[in-house]
Amino acid sequence: MKIVKIVVASIAVLFIGYHSIEIKKLDEVKKASTETFDALAFAHNFLEKTLPPSFSKAPSVATLLALLSKEPKKAFQEMSNAVAIGNIRYFLVKGEGQITKIQDDEIQVLLPNQTQPISVKLATEFIYGNAIRDAAGVFDIKQFTNTSDINNISAEINKIIRTERVPAFKKQIKVGDSIQFVGALEMNQEYLKLQNLEILPIEFNKI
């Protein structure tokens, strides 16, 4: 009888023990723990495939400014986007105009307008933040659970523009050239500032 008890107890211990632990190959565990989100690949796909279909829907700078002057609430509701909750919103805009000045950190462009021309700055150095990622409203934060992934996407998108697209474009242009561009514009809806606009470029071409 005692032997039966020992056998039953041993089987129970072995059963519980077996189901209490899971044995995995060490290289599988290491591989799983080092698999990280590829923000650079996401950024390339975003700039090359996800974002371009929105370009045709972007208002011109002149159209946006006219609406912001007359009906700012409507402009923000219908045209702005942002992943973060708050007053900072982003607009996808396009423009066509003449380069009036080329500086280290920006290009000044004069955009023709019905009333008077609009002067804007296209940033060429300080291309940071979430404007480009968020402006078109096509970035879906619900796909992500990791905060650093969300931040890294913006950082990689900005880096591609700042270190690849801008230097190539700057080599082609000079003052007086006509260009067209699509870019992202940041606005604080509580602290509206319609002068000295700084646009972060996404795509630009010499006409």
Residue 130 binding other proteins, by CB under 8 A? yes
Binding window for other proteins (CB under 8 A); candidates: 5-13, 22-30, 43-51, 186-194: 186-194
Helices (H), 91-194: 131-134, 147-160, 166-172
The correct pick among 22, 28, 35, 190 for binding other proteins (CB under 8 A) is: 190
Amino acid identity for residue 169 in this structure: F
Task: Give the DSSP per-residue string, 173-188.
Answer: --TT-EEEEEEEEEEE
Q: How far is the CB of 141 from other proteins (least distance, A)?
A: 6
**Cα–Cα distance for residue pair 194/112, rounded to 1 Å:** 16
Residue 103 binding other proteins, by CB under 8 A? no
| The dihedral formed by the CA atoms of 40, 137, 60 and 191, expressed in degrees to the nearest 10 | -100
Q: Is 91 helix (H, G, I), strand (E, B) or coil?
A: strand
Residue 40 binding other proteins, by CB under 8 A? no
Cβ atoms < 10 Å from Cβ of 90: 25
Footprint (CB under 8 A) of other proteins, residues 147-166: 147, 150-151, 154-155
Q: How many residues bind other proteins (CB under 8 A)?
A: 24
Cβ atoms < 10 Å from Cβ of 206: 12
| Pair 80, 90: CB distance under 8 Å | yes
Residue 110 binding other proteins, by CB under 8 A? no
Q: How far is the CB of 154 from other proteins (least distance, A)?
A: 7
The correct pick among 20, 115, 145, 195 for binding other proteins (CB under 8 A) is: 145
Binding window for other proteins (CB under 8 A); candidates: 18-26, 59-67, 113-121, 184-192: 184-192
The correct pick among 40, 66, 67, 83 for binding other proteins (CB under 8 A) is: 83
Binding window for other proteins (CB under 8 A); candidates: 14-22, 38-46, 50-58, 141-149: 141-149
180 phi and psi angles, rounded to 5 deg: -125, 150
Amino acid identity for residue 10 in this structure: S
Residue 124 binding other proteins, by CB under 8 A? no
- Write out the H or E segment, with its range, that includes residue 199: strand 197-206
Contact footprint for other proteins (CB under 8 A): 82-88, 126, 128-130, 141-142, 144-147, 150-151, 154-155, 188, 190-191
